[in-house]
């Protein structure tokens, strides 16, 4: 963010602050008092911040978590840009409207992505998860709170991706970390060239999962691209300016020690 602000000659700063749970309310009051245009929330504050702000954007209300707060003349609105960052990446290669989407995982990233895709017009979403309770809960949430049809599929053995899937997403932490050889327990022979295959992991940008999908002729989306788009969305919410994504991509790559 700092590099993008500098590249755009913007008089903004992006700083990191460690805030203890018991100090969250004071930190928010201080941010307002100092005229901050907004801030990000990471764990453990993504849910705790909700009763301390004035309102929620539609997707944040459904997701039940906030990662970005916007200060509009003292009124604080909570956004969840995790899923919005993915959606921006998806729209670069495919319109989400009327698509069938398969999501592996049922954690925070899966939740945000499922809700955003549903609100963007996805026709059907399948949640695949090891824990039936979490998978069923997420599927029920999306099915009841959005126009999309959403179902849960158990993940007890090697999973075959349905042939009519348009978008397939790894929203788990499997494959995280440079040099990781871990990948999803999925039959990659079931991936078809018409599919868009994505991974939320930014490091490494080319996971084993994405490498396999690319070898099958699929269009791939990296987690690094999702992260850059998320940062760009945050910056636009706070400054009203479209930040230079190329600058952020370069800086994030350097932070992760990436060459790709």
Q: Do 119 and 90 touch, CB atoms closer than 8 A?
A: no
Q: Are 231 and 1 in contact (CB under 8 A)?
A: yes
Domain boundaries, the chain: 2-81+225-255, 83-222
The CATH code that applies to domain 2-81+225-255 is 3.40.50.10860
Let me know if 94 is a catalytic residue.
no
Residue 259 is predicted with a pLDDT of 53
Q: At which residue do the structure tokens 């790894």 appear?
A: 170
β-pairing, 75-79 with 68-72?
antiparallel
Which whole-number Å values give the CA distances from 185 to 155, 164, 209, in the listed order? 9, 19, 10
Residues paired with residue 77 on neighbouring β-strands, in sequence order: 55, 70
Q: Which of 96, 101, 143 is nearest to 121 (CA)?
A: 96
Judge whether 133 and 152 are in contact, CB under 8 Å. no
- What's the confidence (pLDDT) of residue 242? 97
Instruction: Enumerate residues 6+ apart whose C-beta is below 8 A from 17.
Output: 27
Give the Cα separation of 187 and 179 in Å (integer): 22
Please give the CATH architecture assigned to the domain spanning 83-222. 3-Layer(aba) Sandwich (3.40)
Q: Are 104 and 134 in contact (CB under 8 A)?
A: no
Cβ count near 40 (within 10 Å): 20
Note the pLDDT of residue 260: 46
CA distance 243 to 237: 11
Asked if the domains at 2-81+225-255 and 83-222 fall in one CATH topology, the answer is yes
Catalytic residue among 46, 94, 236, 245: 46
Residue 43: phi, psi to the nearest 5?
A: -60, 140
What's the DSSP call for residue 158?
P
Q: Which residues of the chain have pLDDT under 50?
A: 260
The C-alpha angle 51, 52, 58, rounded to 5 degrees, equals 60
Q: Where are the alpha helices (DSSP H) in the chain?
A: 2-7, 24-33, 45-48, 58-63, 82-91, 108-119, 132-145, 208-215, 223-239, 245-255
> Taking the model in full, what pTM does it have?
0.93
* Residue 28: predicted pLDDT: 98
Q: Residue 79 corresponds to which tokens in the numbers above?
A: 């956004």
DSSP state of 175: T
């Amino acid at each position: 963010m700092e590099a993008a602000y500098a590249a755009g000659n913007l008089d903004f700063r992006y700083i990191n602050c460690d805030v203890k749970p018991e100090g969250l309310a004071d930190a928010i009051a201080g941010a307002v008092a100092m005229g901050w245009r907004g801030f990000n929330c990471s764990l453990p504050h993504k849910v705790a911040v909700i009763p301390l702000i004035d309102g929620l954007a539609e997707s944040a209300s459904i997701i039940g978590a906030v990662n970005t707060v916007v200060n509009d003349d003292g009124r604080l609105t909570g956004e969840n840009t995790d899923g919005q960052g993915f959606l921006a990446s998806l729209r670069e290669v495919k319109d989400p409207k009327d698509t069938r989407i398969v999501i592996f995982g049922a954690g925070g990233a899966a939740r945000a992505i499922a809700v955003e895709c549903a609100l963007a017009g996805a026709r059907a979403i399948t949640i695949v998860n090891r824990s039936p309770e979490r998978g069923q809960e997420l599927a029920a949430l999306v099915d009841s709170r959005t126009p999309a049809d959403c179902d849960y599929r158990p993940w007890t053995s090697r999973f075959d991706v349905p042939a009519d899937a348009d978008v397939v997403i790894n929203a788990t932490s499997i494959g995280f970390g440079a040099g990781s050889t871990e990948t999803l327990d999925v039959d990659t022979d079931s991936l078809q060239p018409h599919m868009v295959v994505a991974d939320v992991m930014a490091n490494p940008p080319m996971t084993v999962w994405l490498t396999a999908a690319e070898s099958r002729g699929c269009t791939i989306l990296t987690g690094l691209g999702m992260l850059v788009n998320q940062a760009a969305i945050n910056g636009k919410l706070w400054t009203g300016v479209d930040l230079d994504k190329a600058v952020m991509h370069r800086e994030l790559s350097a932070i992760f020690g990436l060459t790709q």
